[in-house]
């Protein structure tokens, strides 16, 4: 009973109704008479393979959102229609993601959410466009996904170009304020579209700010089991900062390799990194995680709604919630708000409604969620976290800092 009450309260708190969408359903909208109508949302995440832990977080976030919406009365403009999740396991593979998207659409999904990996999202967005099905990307950074002129694809998180650019700017400002201005950055990154595109944006901004980037060291996240050799290259380079862009498991390896090899660094700075800001990271990395930075999207820990969802997630799944689960939760809220505004489950009418939304977000500095003509959320904003004590906390910009903490710089793994 306690869990049901918490879910209802959370649904109410995050304003899922038409009022949160900036208006009521337009007159004459059709799509169902309620009375037991069920609307399917397809979710596409890596539920197996190297990124399964992340995929399950995303899947769980989407499920909690659906439960909250249904417990609060469903889609009211459709007579209380309930939402239902249909899941697809992409395995982190673009071809599998494409076939799973097709399967979910053929199974009646009115919209899709996903996918955690940019290469997978690129294929899914093409399927969504071809079938005229709204696709809300929860975690996908590659700018290229939204450069095809598609009309049915949306992204909630900041794009990789923004993450890389902001990451370079954050590093420059934090290091300069500490009296140790960055001079040379070694960059360790996964070799996927994610890692390479973040690096490209970081390099461009670094050139404007006057610091050097190199060596650039890549690896395959699907097969890497140790990064000692790569970090030894960093040590030999004489870089004063190591930037890291990777997924969770490989970034834990990077932190442990830094602690083992002990290059002389002022900081290890994640740029859109998949591990350094996560609640599990300090425990998984141990002393190797101490002091590590990350420029990334981040849930608003000072938001009571986020605090409620954090508690509920722990109760339901016996795990600490990650920001990515907040993003998938928000992605489902976007679809629900679109359905509420459209008063219809027609996919094209839903697309039109989503395009005109303005919706509060659970992610810090992220909001209201509003989409431009390309489908990008114009309210997205990366912030900086640092592992201090047993947790990664927001330290920059100061107005978003948790517990009034400030950046500690220099700070290296294991310090």
Domains of the chain: 38-158+301-370 (3.40.50.2300), 161-296+383-400 (3.40.50.2300)
Per-residue confidence (pLDDT) for residue 412, from 0 to 100: 57
Q: Kindly state the average pLDDT of the residues 228-251.
A: 97
Given a cut of 70, whether residue 39 has pLDDT beyond it is yes
Q: Kindly state the average pLDDT of the residues 56-73.
A: 98
CB neighbour list of residue 18: distance below 8 Å, 6 or more residues apart:
24, 25, 76, 77, 337, 340, 341
Instruction: Name the E strands within 329-370.
Output: none
Given a cut of 60, whether residue 237 has pLDDT beyond it is yes
Q: What is the pLDDT of residues 151-167, one digit of tens each?
A: 999 999 999 999 999 99
Confidence of residue 8 (pLDDT cuts 50, 70, 90): very low
Per-residue confidence (pLDDT) for residue 406, from 0 to 100: 86
Per-residue confidence (pLDDT) for residue 7, from 0 to 100: 45
**Phi and psi of 95, rounded to 5°?**
-70, -35
Using alpha carbons only, how large is the chain's radius of gyration in Å? 21
Taking the C-alpha atoms of residue 263 and residue 348, their distance in angstroms, rounded to an integer, is 54
Confidence of residue 27 (pLDDT cuts 50, 70, 90): very low
Given a cut of 70, whether residue 26 has pLDDT beyond it is no
Given a cut of 50, whether residue 52 has pLDDT beyond it is yes
Q: What is the pLDDT of residues 359-385, one digit of tens each?
A: 998 887 766 999 999 999 999 889 999
Confidence of residue 115 (pLDDT cuts 50, 70, 90): very high
Per-residue confidence (pLDDT) for residue 366, from 0 to 100: 66
State if pTM tops 0.95: no
- List 269's β-bridge partners, or say none: 243, 293
Structure token pair of residue 158:
């900041």
Per-residue confidence (pLDDT) for residue 21, from 0 to 100: 38
Tell me which H or E stretch contains 1: none
Given a cut of 80, whether residue 90 has pLDDT beyond it is yes
Q: Kindly state the average pLDDT of the residues 138-145.
A: 93
Given a cut of 80, whether residue 308 has pLDDT beyond it is yes
Q: Kindly state the average pLDDT of the residues 330-358.
A: 98
Confidence of residue 192 (pLDDT cuts 50, 70, 90): confident
8 vs 37: which has the higher pLDDT: 37
Confidence of residue 13 (pLDDT cuts 50, 70, 90): very low
Nearest to 348 by CA among 132, 26, 41, 155: 132
Taking the C-alpha atoms of residue 174 and residue 169, their distance in angstroms, rounded to an integer, is 9
Counting Cβ atoms within 10 Å, is residue 254 exposed (0-12), middle (13-18) or buried (19+)? buried
Percent of the chain, pLDDT > 90?
79
CB neighbour list of residue 402: distance below 8 Å, 6 or more residues apart:
301, 302, 393, 394, 395
Cα-to-chain-centroid distance, residue 70: 24
> Helix H segments across 30-89?
52-71
Per-residue confidence (pLDDT) for residue 110, from 0 to 100: 99
Given a cut of 80, whether residue 12 has pLDDT beyond it is no
> Chain-wide mean pLDDT for the chain?
90
Q: Kindly state the average pLDDT of the residues 23-36.
A: 37
Given a cut of 80, whether residue 76 has pLDDT beyond it is yes
Per-residue confidence (pLDDT) for residue 6, from 0 to 100: 41
> Helix H segments across 136-247?
160-177, 193-209, 228-237
Percent of the chain, pLDDT > 70?
90
Structure token pair of residue 133:
């099905």
Q: What is the pLDDT of residues 268-300, one digit of tens each?
A: 999 999 999 999 999 999 999 999 999 999 988
Angle, in degrees to the nearest 10, between helices 2-13 and 52-71: 90
Per-residue confidence (pLDDT) for residue 31, from 0 to 100: 39
Per-residue confidence (pLDDT) for residue 364, from 0 to 100: 79
Confidence of residue 414 (pLDDT cuts 50, 70, 90): very low
Confidence of residue 415 (pLDDT cuts 50, 70, 90): very low
Identify the weakest region by mean pLDDT among 89-98, 193-202, 341-350: 193-202
Confidence of residue 229 (pLDDT cuts 50, 70, 90): very high
């Amino acid at each position: 009973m306690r869990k049901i009450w918490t879910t209802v309260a959370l649904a109410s708190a995050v304003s899922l109704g038409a009022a949160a969408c900036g208006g009521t359903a337009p007159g004459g909208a059709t799509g169902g008479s309620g009375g037991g109508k069920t609307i399917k949302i397809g979710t596409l995440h890596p539920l197996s393979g190297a990124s399964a832990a992340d995929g399950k977080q995303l899947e769980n976030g989407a499920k909690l959102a659906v439960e909250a919406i249904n417990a609060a009365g469903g889609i009211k403009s459709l007579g209380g229609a309930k939402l239902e999740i249909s899941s697809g396991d992409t395995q982190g593979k673009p071809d599998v993601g494409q076939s799973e998207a097709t399967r979910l659409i053929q199974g009646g999904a009115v919209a899709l959410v996903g996918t955690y990996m940019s290469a997978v999202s690129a294929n899914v967005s093409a399927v969504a466009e071809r079938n005229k099905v709204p696709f809300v990307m929860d975690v996908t950074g590659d700018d290229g996904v939204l450069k095809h002129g598609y009309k049915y694809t949306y992204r909630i998180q900041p794009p990789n170009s923004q993450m890389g650019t902001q990451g370079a700017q954050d590093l420059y400002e934090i290091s300069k304020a500490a009296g140790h201005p960055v001079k040379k950055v070694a960059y360790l990154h996964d070799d996927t579209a994610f890692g390479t595109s973040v690096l490209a944006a970081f390099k461009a901004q670094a050139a404007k700010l006057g610091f050097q980037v190199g060596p650039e060291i890549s690896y395959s996240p699907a097969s890497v089991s140790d990064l000692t050799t790569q970090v030894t290259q960093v040590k030999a380079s004489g870089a004063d900062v190591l930037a890291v862009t990777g997924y969770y498991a490989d970034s834990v390896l990077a932190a442990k390799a830094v602690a083992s090899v002990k290059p002389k660094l002022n900081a290890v700075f994640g740029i859109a990194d998949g591990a350094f800001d996560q609640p599990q990271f300090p425990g998984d990395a141990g002393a190797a995680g101490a002091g590590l930075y990350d420029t990334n999207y981040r849930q608003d820990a000072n938001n009571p709604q986020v605090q409620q969802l954090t508690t509920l997630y722990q109760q339901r799944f016996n795990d600490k919630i990650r920001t990515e689960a907040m993003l998938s939760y928000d992605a489902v809220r976007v679809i629900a708000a679109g359905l509420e505004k459209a008063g219809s489950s027609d996919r094209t009418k839903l697309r039109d409604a989503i395009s005109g939304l303005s919706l509060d977000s659970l992610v810090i500095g992220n909001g209201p969620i509003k989409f431009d003509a390309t489908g990008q959320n114009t309210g997205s904003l990366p912030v900086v976290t640092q592992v201090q004590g047993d947790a990664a906390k927001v330290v920059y910009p100061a107005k978003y800092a948790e517990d009034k903490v400030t950046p500690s710089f220099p700070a290296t793994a294991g310090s």
